[in-house]
Structure 1
């Protein structure tokens, strides 16, 4: 295993004779280099103790070679080491010499390590740490070498030059997995783990088995596990074009690597290529032939759930969003009675045995409202969704059941007037899956362009309830929006932000920086950073003590799947459009 900081300039070697080997240096056509092997280490190290070397401002290659030692071999070596140390201590005591405290400390360390290995708490590794410093001229190299040796000495590292082995030292620093020097030292698991700078010192937070790489900061790698925090929610705020959707899709993809189930409300159909690539379910609400019945009952609920009552309460929220205003008490009463009557006509009662019957349609509900004196006005307001311009989505039973490890509800084909309704329908379907007590697993619910729902009072309340209750069902809610005013300008929006342990801010518009700065308690420097941030530069806020600025980093393969930049998409080949969806419970194709 190798940990490298910067790539070597292999392209500068025009031909084999272009490399000149000296006693301690190598000369390239474009510069010179010198290598060092670390032969001495401090007795105790802290987490990220290699950080000063990895963040060195000059050009420095840091190469770490790791090789595990078999357990039997490690136990035999420890026994021999303990025997030598104990023998030396006894010899000193028998001859009346003063105790060698270094030997006693080494014996104690060996004893603790042997006990740890015997209990299976760790392993032994042979580790080689090598440094190669580059410069343009011999004079610059001498100055760089002095600085590197001083830095290594400050870390209590003994860095020895590879005299007469300069070529082997340089080869060892290349990404070839070849250790030509073999100057190794034994490390246990804890010491080796501390050598890897895989956490940023500016972001103190627990990590678990679903840790995700967010990007690179000036002080190291930014890793974050939303499921190890107090709650699993997040808020992503940015102006248009700052990279918020790119970041969210990248986290979605990397959580899928970890086995987390993800559901997305996608207003602009940006997740379609990702869903096709990973075999997810892609539901295009509003497209020709796609139907969605909001009166569907879940296949099965909890042992004490009244599924019918819960569906009736959701329909109160849905209808209020459809008509664009809160319902009066009289209208709510009429709607509740019409819902129960529509289910009764379909043979569905409060008896769980009847819940498997085909559910009534929205048209059946409106028909029940129309025959009621108090519900006639509400039935007239719902006419566009039954007989008017918006009827196509609701004119029949649900065509595709949402299931799988990635579920994407695309709303691009819906008219703008119906997008808030489509968002609410998608969130309801997702929430029924999340709240299923028979299927507990880590889940993430992504609501992209959440301002579409926040501008509706009922939609904002639904999103707030989900933010409050998601943690109890082992789920996280990711709210992504470019309109900070809609999120921060209401009490419910501020409550959603307050219930998000992970807060990611990308570039902000000058008109919004005041509200964003006040809401997140940003310093003047942090505000200036967000005003001038480049695409993909973000500020991670996790409470008042943990804050770090980082650059979102994606591989070429990941970027090809998640980019929405037209200039990049025009050069990408179309993704394969045919794939098979499997039901996650039965294993049969949908």
Structure 2
């Protein structure tokens, strides 16, 4: 039996050291593999016209054709498109001597072609003449060093969650390019190369390039700031990108609606009051629903009408009022439209549609109660001599007291509904909305203050005031702004949020701009109607937000990481101003006199 060789102390130490090194190497390799698994996609699938990276679909396009001349910022619509895309630009400088030699050869060929056409008696070719002139002009500029020459490659990768969505995004991109006579193609059978060309490694594997001089290539600079200066409009503030003035007319957009989102103290009311004051200077009428008594000083300063709604005031607004419309189409529909509005109002008065624990809507009225209420409303108007005939609409309208009496003497659920409405007729909330209107708003600024109303009555009051304003807007079309502060109170109820959305959707027809202000972004954007109101507003202003609101707004407005970071750190009076397709970082600025009129800061200097 062979004896084992006895190891020396040095040999044992060397063996232990080798084993330890192997263990360290193994641990390092395991760590490397784990890290790679964490940062890499689960799989990559390459097809001829698209690729799949994990759960995302991608498609790379390249631009191959340009018009004869490009304007500055032509790529801005692509950069600001409301889709997830990656854009890569490759710019290769070319030696001027090489370009001069090639241009000399090209000019010779073009002139030869023109001479041959002339000898054969062919009609002159304007395109050939333009090419010669462009080449000669470029030769002159290169000769004196005024221009340089480059090779330019532009690639765009689109990202989506499905192939159908990918096709939709591609059509949007191609439409934008086509409007500018720029032509793009899918990188067929080169999607892997296209994907690599978009990645941050800066490896141009597609190598599809176009010759451009300095002037042409400078127009593709992707970080040009949006310019929101117009010849008419009002001053909103300073463009922080270029220190230019943001002068804008909101009525020049497809609609004049605006939403303002900000946390408390970020300057949202200050901004809206400043806009209202400056809009009055260009002839706009201002209508405001003020839940916190913030607009009284401004209203008094400009000689406006300040209407304080409370159970102790003498102000009365009758929700049964009909608009005194001139348009025949609106006149025929006035009664029916007001009946629909009243249905929503009484559902709100009787508790509003509530959400059950399972997430389903529990209606405030049953189907039978809805039918009885509808008949009672029609009968109440008929007893006052008002029918669908527009000639009867000048009669004195009924009130909730008349509706109460009609319901009380009806069969079915009428008496029960009358008892539920009694607090608005003879009970706690009697008077304010159960008598004929005595409000006169024949003024350039009218503020409806609802601060002193009970919390339960506030949404009802906002609904009735909005309905009253809407009747006035329809009766006489003027350039008006309607400001609804703390609009989240309306978004809590289905009927009031639907009514506010209806105003936003129809305001343009009556030359009205709706401004919706809220600090409870999550509640507002969590509502389907809230998102619809934002979608129907061509202007948005995002001031400083809470951290939770930033994520919600980022998803809606497709903000970049830098914009998200700024949005939660903006100082008071700064924010993101969206107008149509453009948006800028804006600083709201007011003169000393304006600030004295509109600030609510008790330490600020007051100017009257």
TM over 0.5: yes
- Determine which of 330, 352, 358 is the counterpart of 2:390: 352
Q: Deviations over 1:327-352 (max 9, x none)?
A: 33322221121112222222333333
Against the structure 1 CA distance between its residues 342 and 301, is the aligned structure 2 distance closer, same or farther, given a 3 Å change threshold? Answer: farther
1:398 deviates by 1.3
1:205 deviates by 5.1
Q: Which residue of 2 aligns with 1:482?
A: 519
Against the structure 1 CA distance between its residues 271 and 201, is the aligned structure 2 distance closer, same or farther, given a 3 Å change threshold? Answer: farther
Q: Does 1:415 align with 2:438?
A: no
Secondary structure of the 2:374 match is helix
* Distance in 2, Cα, partners of 1:411 & 1:529: 34
Q: Deviations over 1:334-384 (max 9, x none)?
A: 112111222222233333333222222111112211222222232222222
Q: Which residue of 2 aligns with 1:371?
A: 409
Against the structure 1 CA distance between its residues 473 and 300, is the aligned structure 2 distance closer, same or farther, given a 3 Å change threshold? Answer: closer
Against the structure 1 CA distance between its residues 201 and 442, is the aligned structure 2 distance closer, same or farther, given a 3 Å change threshold? Answer: farther
Q: Does 1:319 align with 2:346?
A: yes
Q: Which residue of 1 aligns with 2:308?
A: 284
Secondary structure of the 2:458 match is helix
Q: Which residue of 2 aligns with 1:150?
A: none
Q: Which of the pair has more CA radius of gyration? A: 2
- Asked if 2 retains the 8 angstrom alpha-carbon contact of 1:213 and 1:223, the reply is yes
1:208 deviates by 5.6
Secondary structure of the 1:207 match is coil
* Distance in 1, Cα, partners of 2:540 & 2:287: 19
- Determine which of 269, 273, 281 is the counterpart of 2:297: 273
Against the structure 1 CA distance between its residues 383 and 548, is the aligned structure 2 distance closer, same or farther, given a 3 Å change threshold? Answer: same
Matches within 5 A, 1:198-277: 202-204=225-227, 207=230, 209-219=232-242, 220-277=244-301
Q: Which residue of 1 aligns with 2:439?
A: 400
Most deviating of 294-303 and 251-260: 294-303
Q: Which residue of 1 aligns with 2:529?
A: 492
Q: Deviations over 1:516-552 (max 9, x none)?
A: 1111111111111111111111111235x52211211
- Asked if 2 retains the 8 angstrom alpha-carbon contact of 1:256 and 1:405, the reply is yes
Secondary structure of the 1:265 match is strand
Query: Structure 1 regions of 5+ residues with no counterpart?
Result: 1-45, 48-199, 576-590
Q: Deviations over 1:100-151 (max 9, x none)?
A: xxxxxxxxxxxxxxxxxxxxxxxxxxxxxxxxxxxxxxxxxxxxxxxxxxxx
* Distance in 2, Cα, partners of 1:298 & 1:496: 24
- Asked if 2 retains the 8 angstrom alpha-carbon contact of 1:271 and 1:562, the reply is yes
* Distance in 1, Cα, partners of 2:288 & 2:237: 19
Q: Which residue of 1 aligns with 2:486?
A: 449
- Asked if 1 retains the 8 angstrom alpha-carbon contact of 2:238 and 2:245, the reply is yes
Matches within 5 A, 1:34-183: none
1:203 deviates by 2.8
Q: Deviations over 1:222-274 (max 9, x none)?
A: 22221111221111000011000000010011111111122111111211121
1:493 deviates by 1.0
- Determine which of 546, 556, 568 is the counterpart of 1:531: 568
Q: Deviations over 1:142-195 (max 9, x none)?
A: xxxxxxxxxxxxxxxxxxxxxxxxxxxxxxxxxxxxxxxxxxxxxxxxxxxxxx
1:413 deviates by 1.7
User: What TM-score comes out, normalization by structure 2 length?
Assistant: 0.58
- Asked if 1 retains the 8 angstrom alpha-carbon contact of 2:323 and 2:474, the reply is no
Q: Which residue of 2 aligns with 1:362?
A: 400
Most deviating of 456-465 and 344-353: 344-353
Q: Does 1:540 align with 2:568?
A: no
Secondary structure of the 1:251 match is helix
Q: Which residue of 1 aligns with 2:539?
A: 502
* Distance in 1, Cα, partners of 2:530 & 2:370: 25
Secondary structure of the 2:547 match is coil
- Asked if 1 retains the 8 angstrom alpha-carbon contact of 2:233 and 2:247, the reply is no
Against the structure 1 CA distance between its residues 504 and 289, is the aligned structure 2 distance closer, same or farther, given a 3 Å change threshold? Answer: same
Secondary structure of the 2:328 match is coil
Q: Deviations over 1:421-461 (max 9, x none)?
A: 1111111122122223xx33222111111001011110111
- Asked if 1 retains the 8 angstrom alpha-carbon contact of 2:228 and 2:245, the reply is no
* Distance in 1, Cα, partners of 2:559 & 2:323: 44
Secondary structure of the 1:391 match is coil
Most deviating of 337-346 and 406-415: 337-346
Question: What's the Cα RMSD here?
Answer: 2.4
- Asked if 2 retains the 8 angstrom alpha-carbon contact of 1:261 and 1:444, the reply is yes
* Distance in 2, Cα, partners of 1:384 & 1:404: 33
- Asked if 2 retains the 8 angstrom alpha-carbon contact of 1:206 and 1:225, the reply is no
* Distance in 1, Cα, partners of 2:434 & 2:314: 10
Against the structure 1 CA distance between its residues 415 and 221, is the aligned structure 2 distance closer, same or farther, given a 3 Å change threshold? Answer: same
- Asked if 1 retains the 8 angstrom alpha-carbon contact of 2:256 and 2:514, the reply is yes
Secondary structure of the 1:222 match is strand
Against the structure 1 CA distance between its residues 203 and 431, is the aligned structure 2 distance closer, same or farther, given a 3 Å change threshold? Answer: farther
* Distance in 1, Cα, partners of 2:300 & 2:407: 41
- Asked if 2 retains the 8 angstrom alpha-carbon contact of 1:215 and 1:551, the reply is yes
- Asked if 1 retains the 8 angstrom alpha-carbon contact of 2:325 and 2:474, the reply is no
Q: Does 1:555 align with 2:578?
A: no
